[in-house]
Amino acid sequence: MNRIPFIAGNWKMYKTGPEAVETAERLVTLCADVENVEVMIAPTFLSLPLITPCVKGTCVKTGAQNLYFEKEGAFTGEVSAEMIRATGSEYVIIGHSERRQYFGETDANVCKKLKSSIHAGLKPILCIGETEIERNEEKTFQILDKQVSDGLKSFGSDELKDLILAYEPVWAIGTGKTANINQVEEVHQYLRALVGRLFSMDFACRIRILYGGSVKPENIRELMNIKDVDGALVGGASLDPEKFIKIIKYYL
């Protein structure tokens, strides 16, 4: 099954509007000769309508870092899938570990956000992953099973045709730690088999599964050589276009 590699940059709460535009414009220039790799950057909500026009017609797409599952209403401070789509963005990150850890994101809310994003025509990137304590207690697969099963319940495979999974071990995010190759391979293989059990192996072989957790130019090639790794969800290294392009062009 030919799955196009997908490299995503999560800018988190960094960069003002002008800084985001400058970074996006530089990245577009650096990506001019990129082929057979899809690239996505997720700035803050405020920067989405500013940088989306900058990347239009290029291999670089934009996405949001979160959304609220209601279409509209008295929900102060929230942003809907329709509002994100109106900026011209194509993707949205759902269930990131920082949302789960700091803002009480639950699997039930993740499921609602997935439904909202799909109905609005956004392509969801569903984040899953275990904490260090859960890994040390050998609960990794138990946690992943629940996050995937609860997050995707009530969906048919036809609704999830644009779904991207992102495995991000919480203990490796922003810590400089990276899961070793055997750990990454084992988890990604498990996730594809899990999706196969929930839906079908044909569907499981079509969706892309990204790795996220201290991804940098020095380790991207090794990660991308793993059979079931189809790309990366990059944090800090995506803020610098000169570093990020080395990850995007991992094949050189």
174-204: pLDDT as tens digits:
777 778 899 999 999 999 999 999 999 999 9
Cα separation, 142 vs 152, in Å, equals 16
The pLDDT tens digits of the residues spanning 34-71 come to 999 999 999 999 999 999 999 999 999 999 999 999 99
Catalytic: which of 38, 98, 168, 188?
A: 168
| Annotated catalytic residue 119 | no
Residue 168 known to be catalytic: yes
DSSP 69: S
Which domains occur in the chain, in start order?
6-248 (3.20.20.70)
CA 56, 59, 60, 65 torsion: positive or negative?
positive
φ, ψ (nearest 5 deg) of residue 234? -105, 135
Closest CA to 93 of 75, 77, 76, 105: 105
Region 104-130: mean pLDDT is: 97
H or E stretch including 128? strand 123-128
pTM tops 0.85: yes
Q: Are 20 and 47 in contact (CB under 8 A)?
A: yes
Residue among 96, 98, 105, 188 flagged as catalytic: 96
